[in-house]
Amino acid sequence: MKIFCIGRNYSEHAKELNNEVPENPVVFMKPATALLKDNQPFFYPEWTKDLHYETELVYRICKQGKYIKEKFAPKYYDKVSVGIDFTARDLQSYQKTKGLPWEIAKAFDNSAVIGTFSDFTEKSEGINFSLKKNQEQVQIGNSNQMMYPINKLIEYVSQFFTLQVGDLIYTGTPAGVGPVKIGDKLEGFLENERVFVCTIS
């Protein structure tokens, strides 16, 4: 399985990191070894001093396909959850200034927290999600705020990569990203349901 991640998909977050709003979706990937599930703790790596959470809606692919048109995209995902795209911001900033790839800053082991999935249901008011850090709400988002909604992302990504059953798409983070330290407790919510807990060890 593959993990696709989208960068800069919420204009408020792009602004907080002084990034341009992109012409096309920014796509990167994480390997299967990045997945952290079942509320396992996250162990703070020794090679970063600025680990950030990014809370994201995550869609699960349920059908294989390539060159999928936006209007057919809803047939290709069936479940949704909330996850964290852990980012070593210090390494990422360095890689960005040098024009180097991001993998060491974003695709490392356990960098993709994933919560329990729910069946996807289309709602005109969008899907709400949020993150609490030590009981305090630090991020809140709604799928309607994405610059590239899931159906557009599927059209874009599937031009380059065959989507396969079980692949995940992390759809980018809203504003409010921030650092974690050992001892912090992160809780992800899909609407009002808590879908994961992640303690930093």
Question: DSSP assignment, residue 200?
Answer: B
Of 77 and 170, CB closest to Zn ion:
170
> What is the H or E stretch that residue 78 is in?
strand 77-85
Please give the order of strands across the beta sheet that includes 185-190. 136-142, 128-133, 185-190, 193-199
Which of 54, 155, 167, 187 contacts Zn ion by CB under 5 A?
54
The CB-nearest residue to Zn ion is: 85
For residue 172, the minimal CB distance to Zn ion (Å) is 6
User: Per CB under 5 A, which of residues 167..186 are in contact with Zn ion?
Assistant: 173
- Residue 87, SS3 per DSSP: strand
**Which region, judged by CB under 5 A, interacts with Zn ion, from 19-27, 82-90, 113-121, 145-153?**
82-90
For residue 134, the minimal CB distance to Zn ion (Å) is 21
3-state secondary structure 132-192: EECCEEEEEEEHHHCCCCHHHHHHHHHHHCCECCCCEEECCCCCCCEECCCCCEEEEEECC
Of 5 and 68, CB closest to Zn ion:
5
For residue 16, the minimal CB distance to Zn ion (Å) is 13
Of 58 and 200, CB closest to Zn ion:
58
Tell me the CA distances in angstroms from 195 to 22, 28, 95, 108, 186, one per residue in order: 30, 24, 32, 22, 11
Of 33 and 64, CB closest to Zn ion:
33
Of 7 and 200, CB closest to Zn ion:
7
Which residues are at the interface with Zn ion (CB under 5 A)? 54, 85, 173
